[in-house]
Chains A and B, each alone.
Chain A
Amino acid sequence: MAVPSILGISIVLFGVLALAPGDPFSDLATDPSIPPSVAASLRAKFGLDDPLPLRYLHWLAAMLQGDWGFSFASRINVSTLIMQRLPTTLIVIGSSQVLALAIAIPVGVYAGVRPYSVFDQVASTLALVGFSVPTFFTGLVFILVFSVGLHWLPFVYRTDIGGSGLALWWAYIRQAIMPVAVLGLFQGAALTRFVRASVLDVARLDYVTTARSKGLPERSVVLKHIVRNALIPVVTLVALNMPIIFGGAIITEQIFRVPGIGSLLIAAILANDTPVIMGVTFVFACLVILFNLIADLLYGWLDPRISYR
């Protein structure tokens, strides 16, 4: 399942690259100080004149071996660059997901078991508002309120914070609050709507009525009977939303200058740094597939009715 997807995505990426007008060596070709013979031999060395399928295989082999080329802008290997930045991105995305679930599950369940109550209407309205505000706007509003207005939080993410011990940790946490909150609230809003719908679906099934008519307390009907089944599809939704989450991560990293792979991608695009752009896109693609795979496996484990033969 995962292998064909990776192959498919790599074909798409390579296709885009190959179809794109201009080629990475056009700078060399127009540079008068490089004789045409050198440019031609460079092209031959990198296999740019080979037929497309051959170039694809070369490229794929290089990508899979972690040989992602050399950053034009910062003069180090793309893989080193990405590995430096990846942990920050994963931490920000991971904690925002935790925040999103911590909001969405209680709110969604509470609203779902009391449909059309006041709480449900307030929660649904807030959720729709929350997911209509684009993340870049929430980010700017947060900066305006908490940094410019109240001076509570720093709005530029730094990696060179001095100090040690608790103070250092506190500084790290403080600067991560806003990016994580922006991303988490957006995701939380989308998830709340979904959890509520899923709870509504499950709550009207027969076995829930059975549980109630056995005289079980409402609390255990909700927690043990409804929630456990209602949350199964949420696992898939979290995985399916991964591409969107990465999109949100790119924006938040850009706003708050978080040194993750998202801001690396934007910087690389603005600097015409093709190897880095391809590398980061490939990493994002692999992460998406990885999370889909994890969700598929979890799904089979959570819900024995589903089998993969």
Chain B
Amino acid sequence: MAGSTPASPTAEIAVGPVVVRARSASLGREAWRRFRRHRLALISAGVLLTLVLALVFGPWIWPVPINAIDFSAQMHGPSLAHPLGTDDLGQDLLARLLYGGRISMAVGVAAMLVAVLVGVFIGAVAGTARGGIDMALMWLCDLFLSLPQLPVLLLIIYLFQTSLRHLVGQELGTFILIVAVIGGFRWMSIARLVRAQFFSLREKEFVEAARALGASTLRQVVHHILPNAIGPVIVAGTIEVANAIILESTLSFLGLGFPPDVPSWGRILFDAKDYLDTAPHWAMFAGGAIFFAVMAINYIGDGLRDALDPRRVI
């Protein structure tokens, strides 16, 4: 959460007006070279890749239904039939974790996209318009920053949950609501980042050159400023995925996220917390999954920060 502090508000990918194709290739290769230097980030990238592959292909390799109730195998520890054990209804935990991981990851990525889109848009508008519009948008930003996030999230979900579920169905309704709400409350740091970038970039010579050549404001923004401002946004966006996963798990853990038949990681943990003494493996596997996913993403964010910040000498 505090990890979303801007990596370097003035970081610029100082490539200047080179031919676009040469730039993107060398920039990517250079970033990759720097990223590889961050050993833990590289390991994390491997962990995350394995995790994502397991989530995508796992349900085919382990085709146990997530809701097959088996009362003869309640809360069993790990065994050959159930590699991660079973829960209180004898449902297979591995299958449930694989399914839940898909949901948690999907929520994380979708909420990050919402936050990044809103953040980049508001930051770009504020950074381009300046003056009154900028002041108003930054006031809005401060306002959202000082809202007590979790209580307001809970309030919104409480108020809108039932009607949205009636509208588009239980699972999809919860998904849309959670993504929109998390995304809608996490755009502020990205907006500030983008705005700060705009302020420094719009005075640079290459933007001035574009302006002198008669480029419209839209073209300046989209073709010249935004591509150069995107580095820190990538870093912040990565960490935002981790934050969104934590927030979704938190909501589900409080019993206000996904319904019981949709086992997201947080929901599994919520169900498991009452059986800590008799079936600790249940909570540990679910919590461990969240922990490893979040830590891997945070480390990748750290590595990207090193890779995309040209002020750092590696």
Q: Which A residues are within 8 Å of any B CB, using their own CB?
A: 4-5, 8-9, 12-13, 16-17, 20-22, 125, 128-129, 131-134, 136-137, 140-141, 143-144, 148, 190-191, 193-194, 237, 240-244, 246-247, 250-251, 254-255, 265-266, 269-270, 277-278, 280-281, 284-285, 287-289, 292
- The reply to whether B2 and A131 contact each other, CB–CB distance below 8 Å, is yes
Q: What would be 16 A-B contacts, judged by CB atoms less than 8 Å apart?
A: A5-B142, A17-B159, A20-B159, A128-B299, A131-B3, A131-B298, A132-B291, A148-B276, A240-B145, A244-B2, A244-B149, A247-B149, A251-B254, A269-B256, A281-B155, A284-B151
B18-26, B48-56, B223-231, B245-253: which lies at the interface? B245-253
CA distance A246 to B276 in the complex (A): 25
What is the interface of chain A mostly: helix, strand, loop, or mixed? helix
B27 located at the interface, meaning its Cβ lies under 8 Å from any Cβ of chain A in the complex: no
Q: Decide if B37 is an interface residue (CB 8 Å cutoff).
A: no
* Contact across chains for A269 and B158 when beta carbons are under 8 A apart: yes
Q: In this complex, what residue of B is CB-closest to A148? A: B277
Interface residues in B136-165 by Cβ distance below 8 A to A read 139, 142-143, 145-152, 154-156, 158-160, 162-163
B5 is an interface residue with CB less than 8 A from chain A: yes
- In Å, the complex CA distance between A191 and B139 comes to 26
Q: Which residues of B contact A20 (CB under 8 A)?
A: 159-160
The CA of A193 and the CA of B298, in the complex, are separated in Å by 13
Least CB separation from B255: chain A residue: A270
Point out residues on B near A: beta carbons under 8 Å. Answer: 1-3, 5, 40, 139, 142-143, 145-152, 154-156, 158-160, 162-163, 242, 246, 249-250, 253-256, 266, 269, 273, 276-277, 280, 283-284, 287, 290-291, 294-295, 298-299, 302
- Among residues of B, the one whose C-beta sits closest to the C-beta of A197 is B5
Cα distance, A8 to B283, chains bound together (Å): 40
Q: Which 9 A-B pairs have the closest CB atoms?
A: A247-B150, A20-B159, A284-B148, A137-B287, A132-B295, A190-B2, A21-B163, A281-B151, A8-B143
Contact yes or no, A134 B299, CB < 8 A: no
Shortest Cβ gap from A1 to chain B (Å): 9
Asked whether, in the complex, the Cβ of B148 is within 8 Å of the Cβ of A247, the reply is yes
B2 near A136: Cβ-Cβ < 8 Å: no
B151 adjacent to A129 (CB under 8 Å):
no
Minimum Cβ distance to chain A for residue B126 (Å): 17
How many A-B pairs with Cβ below 8 Å?
A: 150
Evaluate contact between B295 and A243: CB separation under 8 angstroms: no
Known contacts A9-B147, A280-B151, A281-B151; A247/B276 CB under 8 A: no
B146 and A246 contacting across the interface, CB-CB below 8 Å = no
Q: Check A140/B276 contact, CB under 8 A, given A21-B163, A270-B255.
A: yes
Evaluate whether A134 and B294 lie within 8 angstroms (CB atoms) in the complex, with A237-B2, A277-B158 already known: yes
**Is A9 in contact with B146, judged by CB distance below 8 angstroms?**
yes
- B contact face: mostly helix, strand, loop, or mixed: helix
A255 x B280 contact (CB < 8 A): no
Q: Give B270's nearest chain A residue, CB to CB.
A: A136
Q: Is the CB of A16 within 8 A of B156?
A: yes
If A131-B3, A241-B2, A251-B253 touch, whether A137 touches B291 (CB-CB below 8 Å) is yes
Residues of B within 8 A of A288 (CB): 146-148
Cβ-neighbour of B154 out of A5, A143, A190, A265 (below 8 A): A265
Beyond A251-B150, A288-B147, list 11 extra A-B contacts (CB 8 Å): A21-B160, A141-B284, A143-B276, A144-B276, A246-B151, A251-B250, A265-B151, A277-B155, A281-B152, A284-B151, A285-B152
By a CB distance below 8 angstroms, the chain B residues around A13 are 152, 155
Instruction: Find the A residue at minimum CB distance from B256.
Output: A269
* Min CB gap A93→B, angstroms: 12
- Which A residue's beta carbon lies closest to that of B298? A132
Name the contact of A281 in the complex, choosing from B2, B139, B148, B294 (C-beta under 8 A). B148
Bound together, the chains give a CA A143 to CA B266 distance in angstroms of: 17
Residue numbers in B under 8 Å from A292 (CB-CB): 146
Question: Does the CB pair A16–B159 fall under 8 Å?
Answer: yes
Nearest-neighbor residue (CB-CB) of A136 within chain B: B253
Checking A22, A194, A247 against B2 with a beta-carbon cut-off of 8 angstroms, the contacting residue is A194
Contacting residue for A255 out of B2, B40, B255, B273, CB 8 A:
B273
Chain B neighbourhood of A191, CB < 8 A: 2
Shortest C-beta distance, B247 to chain A (Å), equals 9
Q: How far is the CA of A22 from the CA of B165 in the complex (A)?
A: 14
A7 nearest in chain B by CB position: B143
* Complex CA distance for A48 and B146, rounded to whole angstroms: 29
> B295: which A residues are within 8 A, CB to CB?
128-129, 132-133
Closest approach, in angstroms, between the C-beta of A70 and any C-beta of chain B?
Answer: 18
Query: In the bound complex, what is the Cα–Cα distance between A20 and B156 (angstroms)?
Result: 8
Pairwise interchain contact B269-A137, C-beta atoms closer than 8 A = yes
Task: Using CB atoms, name the residue of chain B closest to A17.
Answer: B159
